[in-house]
Amino acid sequence: MSFLSYLVSGISLGSIYALIALGYTMVYGIAKMLNFAHGDVIMVGAYAIYTICITWGLPPLVGVLGSIVICAVLGVVIEKVAYKPLRKASSLAVLITAIGVSYLLQNAALLIFKSDTKSFTSVVNIPSLDLFDNQLHIQGETIATIVVSVIIMIALNLFINKTKPGRAMLAVSEDKGAAQLMGINVNSTISLTFLIGSALAAVAGALLCSSYPALSPTTGAMPGIKAFTAAVFGGIGSIPGAMIGGVLLGVIENLSKGYISTQFSDAIVFGVLIIILLFKPTGLLGKKINEKV
Amino acid sequence: MKLKKIMASFLAAAAAITCLTACKTDGDSGSGDNSGDNSTTSGATLRIGGSGPLTGDYALYGNGVKNGAQLAVDEINAAGGINGVTIEFRMEDDEAAEEKAVNAYNVLKDWDMDLSIGTVTSGACIAFGAEAAKDNMFLLTPSSTAVECIAADNAFRVCFSDPNQGVASADYIADQSLATKIAAIYQSDNAYSAGIFDKFKSEAGNKGLEIVSEQSFTSDNATDFSAQIQSIKDSGAELLFLPIYYSEASLILQQAKNAGLDVKVFGCDGLDGILNMKNFDVSLAEGVMLLTPFAADATDEATVHFVTEYRAKYGDETMNQFAADAYDAIYIIKAAAEKAGINADMSASDICNALKTAMTEITVDGVTGTSITWAADGEPSKEPKAVVINDGSYKAM
Amino acid sequence: MQKEKRQLKAATKSNIITYAMLIAAFIIVSIICATNDKMYQFKGMLVPLCIYSIMAVSLNLVVGILGDLSLGHAGFMCIGAYVGAFFSVLLKDNIPLDWLRFVISLVLGGVTAGIFGFLIGIPVLRLRGDYLAIVTLAFGEIIKNIVNLLYVGVDGSGLHVSIKSASDLNLAEDGTVIVKGALGITGTPNDSNFTVGFVLLLITVFVSLNLINSRTGRAVKSIRDNRIAAETVGISVTRYKLIVFMISAFFAGIAGVLYSHNISSLNTSIFGYNTSILVLVYVVLGGIGSTRGSIIAAVILYALPEMLRDLRDYRMLIYAVVLILLMIVNNNEKFNLFKEKISITRFIQNRRNGMKGAKS
């Protein structure tokens, strides 16, 4: 029964990684940049919910919606102000700017919300499940996280493949110049990508802090890095890849903690990651790059 | 090429700014430079410097110390200062990094610091302390717990050391027969937590306690504890020992409740502050026992005074044991300085020598303990208070 | 032929400027230090500046010359720092000559880091782009995780190693614990100073510039610019990549030794991916591939948060804003045009060309 329990909590943690990784991978696929500030947008989203629901006492749904709007706007603003001027620069230059944005968000949060860890009240109101004579306990938050991330993944996939703006995104990710020639507004497409990615970050923030209710200005940093790892693991740019990468990462993490050693869990997780990447050098579902001379 | 030109001009500007800053600090230090002796103090005030993490992961603790010390300094100045001398306090940010702590120390030296309250975290304090020892600068750290922090004879501390807490916890659990099968979760990349646990483990062995599950986490992995909790559940432990800080502890308590882990919980002073966590569900901490020198809801006059004043000035957010330790540190310095007859004309080294002797002669009643005395090795002698959380407040055990 | 010669000449000229800049900076700083009693902050920053410059120059080899994104550079620094500090603490009393002990520490730390660079490089360098980045990040984290749990003690019967706790070392009464897990190594002798740091930086720059302009360097650059084309002309990609990766790791190890002998408390907290990223920021802001730029950017960006201390709580916020602005301004086309206009080198060249008239 311990195994199932490790597995379930691994999937729960993994789904949160997956949700964050979806945002990473989307932005990467279209804008070809690693948005290191993504984790910190999650933190902003969580603080937004905290302020709306706990400080102002409004219902959770309002909090989540408010947070989605705030993050979406923030994402677009960041893109316009910090990344757009660098569209022609090297991808490393954009990466460094993203790190700058990440510092900026963390320190702004430190000034506004102060350094103390705040306890978050769950926005999920689903009863928990007890299976096998109460041997296996599944939190409502876990169920919500898994369901939400699957829905979002499917919706994103449909959006990108079936709708006009979604296909515009695909076109932009394939070839910016050609897309522009075909009459696609590249700027607004990229903005839309950041809008969706950041809105996803708000959802991820709500679920992250509902499952793990401690909120501080550096809350988003580590999940951000883990999600980045997950996105690369699954094959960066691939939406199902991000999902699988995130869940696998969470499961490996929890199983290694449960069965091998909690002391070495970081080393084990990253070790497994390295081994898998050595055998699949472009991640689990990454596209094989055909190089031409 | 051109880029580098621009960079070079930036560099020149940077160098110019550094010089300007240096000049400015020289400027406000007044007479400091004239004598040519850089350790001479600056006339009418006594300058106390400190460093700690004011940004980053550990900002909570640094800001607690900063506010606590500032509160004491303001009170002392309002009451006429130390031996009639006004004191000034300056806290620099070190992000809990050793290298930044040394930088902070140098900045404070440029500011003509007369004595210091060291740093907030252990690693940084060892680095800071080594520099202070070279200059014979007095150091009284409020909260650095590693043994090595006060290795030099100019260094003292307010809090308990790591080994002290580990041993005291094991003794308390054994003496009160709280449990025999013990599980622990500690933070393996944190000197405070790993230090306490190491001593706890060896003392537990001596006292006949059995450690049935030994779990850890790192700062990179401090959100999900379900695997650790599940292992503890399977191990049949009766008591969970948590030598960690309260942010992580709040998560562990929440997840333990979710997983249906029903054990006694015992912690160290790092857990203090959990009840002040905004929006925290105090029922999670019901029955948690901890050894702490400071309890915010204690009813003695000193604590009530400190808590009321602190709340009025800085609110609740950093109202923790770090703030209390720092508040005490300033009053301890005051007591020692009065005993030693420190005046503002003495050099930092003379102040240090005088205080070194005075520290072993004073007895201080503070927020974090009564009748505290110091040995020449810098360790305080005070009784830890064992408290249990009951209905959201501490009750003495 | 002629063109090639001119290019070579340009490279030499650029190198001379770099050395001149470094030596001039050294002389100016030495004068400032000798004539000022105070300025402790300034003096205290000198060794860290050398350390981070060495880090930036060595990472520039991987990122700029090899064209691979590495996020685990701090891991090599960690290895160097621990090996060097361990050796120095162990033989503090046995080798009376401070400088000799320090030199041995440097060599040991650097070589160990280089060996790790080689070992890690073999599997890692097969990967590309972000996948390589994530694997180097992973290696950095693994090193940090293991070193964190390392306990090493010494007593009459030799060395004892444990990865659990100090009490598991089973030391004899007279034994001492040198590496103390999360607390790391304390009491490392303070052997580094600005002159040593500067000399090491100079050596790093010398090796780096020579490598870049050597046959190996050209081969590596051809790999960066077009791997397949390089392969077809018979350049062994793996071999050259490994050479550069090892040299880069070696100097990161040297920087680590310097670091651990500058501060008496060493633990792993500084060697996380944050430091790797910080060094990457230096390299990118300094202009990818430019040794001189890496040093200048390292100096400015390390000094910046220190100089902003007067801003108190807003310090890191302003630092972040400055970082973003620097990146944006540096990549602005109009600004770059403006830079070209005011560039002195360009000005001189233009005049010279003007004098030569129609000749060219």
Contact flag B250-A216 (C-beta cutoff 8 Å): no
- The answer to whether B39-160+303-381 and B163-292 have equal CATH topology is yes
Contact flag A214-B248 (C-beta cutoff 8 Å): yes
Euclidean distance between CA atoms B381 and B393, whole angstroms:
26
CATH classification code of B163-292: 3.40.50.2300
* pLDDT over threshold 90, residue B390: no
Euclidean distance between CA atoms C330 and B316, whole angstroms:
44
Instruction: Return the DSSP state at C39.
Output: -
Complete DSSP assignment for B168-234: HHHHHHHHTT--SEEEEEEETT-HHHHHHHHHHHHHHHHTT-EEEEEEEE-GGG-S--HHHHHHHHH
Q: Report the DSSP pairing between strands B239-242 and B264-267.
A: parallel
* pLDDT over threshold 80, residue C346: no
Any chain A CB within 8 A of the CB of B198? no
* pLDDT over threshold 70, residue C349: no
- Residues on chain B touching A222 (C-beta within 8 angstroms): 219-223
- pLDDT above 90: percentage of residues in chain A: 43
C160 and C170 Cβ atoms separated by less than 8 Å: yes
Q: pLDDT grade, residue C89 (50/70/90)?
A: very high
* pLDDT over threshold 90, residue A261: no
* pLDDT over threshold 50, residue C281: yes
Contact flag C270-B97 (C-beta cutoff 8 Å): yes
* pLDDT over threshold 50, residue B353: yes
Predicted structure pTM score: 0.89
Complete DSSP assignment for A199-252: HHHHHHHHHHHHHS-EE-TTTTHHHHHHHHHHHHHH-TT-HHHHHHHHHHHHHH
C250 and C116 Cβ atoms separated by less than 8 Å: no
- Among candidates C167, C184, C259 on the partner chain, residue whose Cβ is nearest the Cβ of B201: C167
Contact flag A277-C317 (C-beta cutoff 8 Å): no
Min Cα distance C75 → chain A (Å) is 13
- pLDDT above 70: percentage of residues in chain C: 92
Instruction: Return the DSSP state at B141.
Output: E
Contact flag C42-B22 (C-beta cutoff 8 Å): yes
- Residues on chain C touching A111 (C-beta within 8 angstroms): 313-314, 317
C271 and C255 Cβ atoms separated by less than 8 Å: no
**Measuring CA to CA, which residue among A116, A110, A78 is closest to residue A94?**
A78
Overall average pLDDT of the B54-72 stretch: 90
* pLDDT over threshold 50, residue A164: yes
Overall average pLDDT of the B115-138 stretch: 93
C276: Cβ contacts below 8 Å, ≥ 6 apart = C70, C71, C72, C73, C74, C75, C136, C137, C140
Q: Report the DSSP pairing between strands B115-119 and B86-93.
A: unpaired
Contact flag C320-A92 (C-beta cutoff 8 Å): no
* pLDDT over threshold 70, residue B388: yes
Q: pLDDT grade, residue A1 (50/70/90)?
A: low
Euclidean distance between CA atoms B327 and B339, whole angstroms:
19
- Residues on chain C touching A236 (C-beta within 8 angstroms): 130-131
Euclidean distance between CA atoms A189 and A168, whole angstroms:
7
> Which residue ranges make up each domain of chain B?
39-160+303-381, 163-292
pLDDT digits (tens, 9 = 90+) for C48-61: 999 999 999 999 99
pLDDT digits (tens, 9 = 90+) for A58-102: 999 999 999 999 999 999 999 999 998 888 888 888 888 999 999
Query: Hey, how many other C-beta atoms are within 10 angstroms of the C-beta on C339?
Result: 18
| Domain C2-272 class, CATH top level | mainly alpha
Which SS3 state, helix, strand or coil, does residue B361 take?
Answer: coil
pLDDT of the residue at A48: 95
- Residues on chain B touching A118 (C-beta within 8 angstroms): 277-279
- pLDDT above 90: percentage of residues in chain B: 51
* pLDDT over threshold 80, residue C112: yes
Look up the CATH architecture of domain A2-125+138-279. Answer: Orthogonal Bundle (1.10)
Overall average pLDDT of the C101-110 stretch: 94
Per-residue burial over A256-285, b if 16 or more Cβ lie within 10 Å, else e, is bbbeebbbbbbbbbbbbbbebbeeebbbbb
Residue of C nearest to B194 (CA): C182
Q: pLDDT grade, residue B19 (50/70/90)?
A: very low
Chain B neighbours (≥3 Cβ pairs under 8 A) are: A, C
Euclidean distance between CA atoms B359 and B364, whole angstroms:
10
pLDDT digits (tens, 9 = 90+) for B322-344: 999 999 999 999 999 999 988 88
Q: pLDDT grade, residue B18 (50/70/90)?
A: very low
Q: pLDDT grade, residue B210 (50/70/90)?
A: very high
C102: Cβ contacts below 8 Å, ≥ 6 apart = C88, C189, C191, C192, C196, C261
Overall average pLDDT of the A138-158 stretch: 89
- Residues on chain A touching C126 (C-beta within 8 angstroms): 278, 281
pLDDT digits (tens, 9 = 90+) for C170-227: 777 778 889 988 889 988 888 888 999 999 999 999 999 999 989 998 999 998 888 8
Q: pLDDT grade, residue B299 (50/70/90)?
A: confident
pLDDT of the residue at B41: 42
> Which residue ranges make up each domain of chain A?
2-125+138-279
> Which residue ranges make up each domain of chain C?
2-272
C285: Cβ contacts below 8 Å, ≥ 6 apart = A96, C293, C297, C301, C323, C326, C327, C330
pLDDT of the residue at B21: 43
CA C253 remoteness from chain centre: 9
Q: To which CATH superfamily is domain B39-160+303-381 assigned?
A: Response regulator (3.40.50.2300)
Residue A265 has phi, psi (to 5 degrees) of: -60, -40
Euclidean distance between CA atoms B225 and B186, whole angstroms:
11
B253 and B288 Cβ atoms separated by less than 8 Å: yes
pLDDT of the residue at B8: 47
**To probe the interface with B, which of C13, C16, C37, C39 has the most B CB atoms within 10 Å?**
C39
Min Cα distance C320 → chain A (Å) is 5
pLDDT of the residue at C8: 66
B312 and A153 Cβ atoms separated by less than 8 Å: no
Q: What is the 3-state secondary structure (H, E, C) of A245-267?
A: HHHHHHHHHHHHHHHCCCCCHHH
Q: What is the 3-state secondary structure (H, E, C) of C145-204?
A: HHHHCCEEEEECCEEEEECCCHHHHCCCCCCEEEEEHHHCEECCCCCCCHHHHHHHHHHH
* C88, containing H or E segment: helix C73-90
Overall average pLDDT of the B165-180 stretch: 90
Mean pLDDT of chain B: 85
Q: pLDDT grade, residue B360 (50/70/90)?
A: very high
C130: Cβ contacts below 8 Å, ≥ 6 apart = A28, A34, A232, A236, C69
* pLDDT over threshold 60, residue C359: no
- Residues on chain C touching A115 (C-beta within 8 angstroms): none
Any chain A CB within 8 A of the CB of B236? no
In chain C, count H helices and then E strands.
14, 5
- Better-scored residue on pLDDT, B223 or C296: C296
A95: Cβ contacts below 8 Å, ≥ 6 apart = A33, A34, A36, C280, C284
pLDDT of the residue at B1: 41
Mean pLDDT of chain C: 87
